[in-house]
Chain A
Amino acid sequence: MPSWLTDFPQLDRATLVDLRRGLDQAYRGFSREFGAEIEAFFDPLLFFLVWFERLLINAPWWVVIIGVCALVWALTRSWKLIIGVVIAFLLIGFFGMWKDTMSTMAIITVCTLVSIVLGVPIGILMARSNRVQMVVMPILDVMQTMPAFVYLIPVVMLLGIGKVPGVIAVVIYAIPPVIRLTNLGIRLVDREVLEAADAFGASPWQRLVRVQVPLAMPTIMAGVNQTIMMALAMVVIAAMIGVKGLGQPVLQSITNQYFTQGLLNGLAIVALAIVFDRVSQAYGKRMQKHHGGTVHG
């Protein structure tokens, strides 16, 4: 019996080692060559993130709570939510997690903003062209299923440990829903309404900003909501590459078996998640209220 029937005809060990070493070295060379430029490219993002984090940490706690409540009111007009927010933040502060929570809020906010700024235009492009959709869809699938640790490696090799690689890792993990649902929302816009826009001589841009995006907004908001939830889920993994916040005490608890510390910080993440979730959902629903049911009568 030929050997390839009994043993899988695989690459021999030496070739595999060469392949790995070759690719690794090429990438290392690339990061040595361009690492500084790429880091410089992300400087504005880093600057904004640091500024925002300091702002949240340095402001007196009651100012932050009032600020958050004002934002929640502007977005949702719901007293119930505001009471919930106040209770959640008071408890977090009472159990000594205020500073870490502010750091986490800062990074989640920045990651969500980056995801929206990048994700919505990509989603719009996908909705406009089936070819773009065909290319982007599998990439999104990979981004959502590839274990986060795998793409942490090249990011850390390129940019080292710190906030920016943390943001990149979180965005890679969290951006797919906002892209997918922007695409879906725009594709679901009623064809008759689009025909009406055409019949009145709307340009492609007018059609997009006056009809498609406003009508897709509830769906896009559902995507933003999912993105925020996924970003929060990445807090602990991001902590492994040096992102400050609620993730770090959790990591510490794992190595030292501090059950209570882990639980409390975990609950703080849950509380943040619930606040973000309810606020973004209530905002999405409030926009839908304008629709007031179907157009047919």
Chain B
Amino acid sequence: MADLKIRIEGLYKIFGPNPGAAIELVRDGVSKQEMLDAHDHVVGLKDINLDMTDQSIQVVMGLSGSGKSTLIRHINRLIEPTAGRVQVDGRDVIEMSKDELRDFRRHRASMVFQRFALMPHRTVAQNVAFGLNIQGLERGEVDARVTRWIERIGLGGYEAHYPGHLSGGMQQRVGIGRALATDADILLMDEAFSALDPLIRYDMQSALLDLQSELKKTIVFITHDLDEALRIGDSIAILRDGEMVQQGDPQSIVLNPADDYVADFVKDINRSKVIKVATIMRPPANDTEGPTVDGEMLLEDVARIMTGEGAGWARVVGGSGEVVGRVSTADVMGSMVRQANDDDTVQAAQ
């Protein structure tokens, strides 16, 4: 298990004329709707606790109004909490002085925005340089880093263009370049790909995973799209109406949704792209014939191998190559479609 990077503890955010008094009511169990109707306060976040691991991608998912964008803005304190703590490497961001906070934002945590938030009067190169200018780096150093990052995000040749002349996907590449150029170890991405077309979005997800395999940042990624969450998240937290509903790795969320809200989210998911074969295997048997597959492999890949070889069984091996279990084609297929049964009957009836 990797190290703890960001710890959010007992975080509350209440909007309204007197949040200090309102928080007591919320703690006493007054509901969000009642707070709004009777007390004129909006509960943005309620008792959020979340630990994020170093060098991993933490996805925070929820529909609009669930408080996910409010939550991510507490990590670099663009929003002040009503109560609670946000610790980064053991240091409480909420306690920081103005200067410390500025320094934290300049060097430790950079951000990518849903609608890019690029500076329209600056060229691509000048936008990527923005954080470095703010850091006060000298020109030679800035130019060197900007050249490197523009190349890395695939915008070589567009240095002198203005953002307004670029497509959405390219603009967001600039946004990512701007965020990465500061060398911050934390990357906050607020619905970074939500404004993009599906195909571009898929490309950008791949580009992000590609960058992450090399850079090993701690990424907090906000999204309302479960497919996106499952694809890029090492860990997923689901928010609803400002409350944490469930957190865990993608597989556990698909296999064990905590409530109807989450179950509703995951019901149309392509389970073969989420569930790992080790989760569904049976105990090993000595006489198993067939291909060998890694326990970490997704069902989709296992099914491809098994059908390709026409094998009825496969042996599952662990990290060091020892056989830890076996699966049949029927097991794999069954796990892929398990929940689909009820849906099919409903559709057939219509």
Bound CA–CA A45/B90 (angstroms)? 59
Contact with B along A180-201 (1 / 0, CB 8 A): 0000000000101101111111
Also in contact, A195 and B78, with CB within 8 A (given A214-B121, A295-B116, A297-B166)? yes
Tell whether, in the assembled complex, residue B111 and residue A199 are in contact, meaning their CB atoms are under 8 Å apart: yes
Interface size on B, residues (CB 8 A): 37
Bound CA–CA A193/B163 (angstroms)? 13
Residues of B within 8 A of A197 (CB): 130, 134
Number of A-B contacts (CB under 8 A): 92
Residues of A within 8 A of B130 (CB): 197, 200, 210
In the complex, chain B residues 113-170 whose Cβ is within 8 Å of any chain A Cβ: 113, 115-121, 130-131, 133-135, 162-168, 170
CB of A293 closer than 8 Å to a CB of B: yes
Bound CA–CA A174/B245 (angstroms)? 61
Residues of B within 8 A of A294 (CB): 164
CB of B171 closer than 8 Å to a CB of A: yes
Tell whether, in the assembled complex, residue B117 and residue A292 are in contact, meaning their CB atoms are under 8 Å apart: no
Give the nearest-CB partner of A295 in chain B: B120
CB of A206 closer than 8 Å to a CB of B: yes
CB of B105 closer than 8 Å to a CB of A: yes
Residues of A within 8 A of B118 (CB): 193, 196, 295
CB of A203 closer than 8 Å to a CB of B: yes
Tell whether, in the assembled complex, residue B162 and residue A290 are in contact, meaning their CB atoms are under 8 Å apart: yes
Tell whether, in the assembled complex, residue A203 and residue B111 are in contact, meaning their CB atoms are under 8 Å apart: no
Residues of B within 8 A of A195 (CB): 78, 113, 117
Contact with B along A193-229 (1 / 0, CB 8 A): 1011111111100100011001101000000000000
Bound CA–CA A214/B104 (angstroms)? 26
Give the nearest-CB partner of A218 in chain B: B121
CB of B216 closer than 8 Å to a CB of A: no
In the complex, chain A residues 271-297 whose Cβ is within 8 Å of any chain B Cβ: 290-297
Chain B CB within 10 Å, residue with most, of A192, A200, A293, A295: A200
In the complex, chain B residues 92-118 whose Cβ is within 8 Å of any chain A Cβ: 101-107, 110-111, 113, 115-118
Tell whether, in the assembled complex, residue A200 and residue B121 are in contact, meaning their CB atoms are under 8 Å apart: no
Tell whether, in the assembled complex, residue B164 and residue A199 are in contact, meaning their CB atoms are under 8 Å apart: no
CB of B182 closer than 8 Å to a CB of A: yes
Bound CA–CA A209/B114 (angstroms)? 25
Bound CA–CA A155/B171 (angstroms)? 55
Q: Which of A198, A292, A295 contacts B78 (CB 8 A)?
A: A198
Tell whether, in the assembled complex, residue B120 and residue A291 are in contact, meaning their CB atoms are under 8 Å apart: yes
Give the nearest-CB partner of A200 in chain B: B131
Also in contact, A201 and B104, with CB within 8 A (given A214-B121, A295-B171)? yes
Interface size on A, residues (CB 8 A): 26
Bound CA–CA A198/B121 (angstroms)? 17
Residues of B within 8 A of A203 (CB): 102
CB of B76 closer than 8 Å to a CB of A: yes
Tell whether, in the assembled complex, residue A295 and residue B131 are in contact, meaning their CB atoms are under 8 Å apart: no
Residues of A within 8 A of B168 (CB): 296-297
Least Cβ–Cβ distance between B56 and chain A, in angstroms: 22
Residues of A within 8 A of B188 (CB): 199
Least Cβ–Cβ distance between A20 and chain B, in angstroms: 50
Least Cβ–Cβ distance between B149 and chain A, in angstroms: 14
Residues of A within 8 A of B162 (CB): 290-292
Also in contact, A192 and B134, with CB within 8 A (given A198-B105, A292-B162, A295-B163)? no
Residues of B within 8 A of A211 (CB): 119
Also in contact, A215 and B120, with CB within 8 A (given A210-B133, A295-B115)? yes
Contact with A along B291-312 (1 / 0, CB 8 A): 0000000000000000000000
Tell whether, in the assembled complex, residue B117 and residue A196 are in contact, meaning their CB atoms are under 8 Å apart: yes
Least Cβ–Cβ distance between A43 and chain B, in angstroms: 39
Give the nearest-CB partner of A191 in chain B: B117
Residues of A within 8 A of B78 (CB): 195, 198-199
Residues of A within 8 A of B134 (CB): 197, 200-202, 206, 210
Bound CA–CA A227/B290 (angstroms)? 85
Least Cβ–Cβ distance between B13 and chain A, in angstroms: 16
Residues of B within 8 A of A206 (CB): 133-134
Residues of A within 8 A of B76 (CB): 199
Also in contact, A196 and B113, with CB within 8 A (given A201-B134, A203-B102, A297-B166)? yes
8 closest cross-chain pairs (CB), A and B: A201-B105, A201-B106, A297-B168, A292-B164, A196-B117, A199-B111, A192-B117, A200-B131
Interchain Cβ contacts under 8 Å between A and B, 17 examples: A190-B117, A192-B113, A198-B78, A199-B110, A199-B111, A200-B105, A206-B133, A210-B119, A210-B130, A211-B119, A214-B121, A215-B119, A291-B120, A292-B165, A293-B164, A294-B164, A295-B116
**5 further A-B pairs in the complex, CB-CB below 8 A; given A198-B78, A200-B182:** A199-B105, A200-B105, A203-B102, A293-B165, A297-B168
Binding site for B on A (CB under 8 A): 190, 192-193, 195-203, 206, 210-211, 214-215, 217, 290-297
Binding site for A on B (CB under 8 A): 76, 78, 101-107, 110-111, 113, 115-121, 130-131, 133-135, 162-168, 170-171, 178, 182, 188, 195
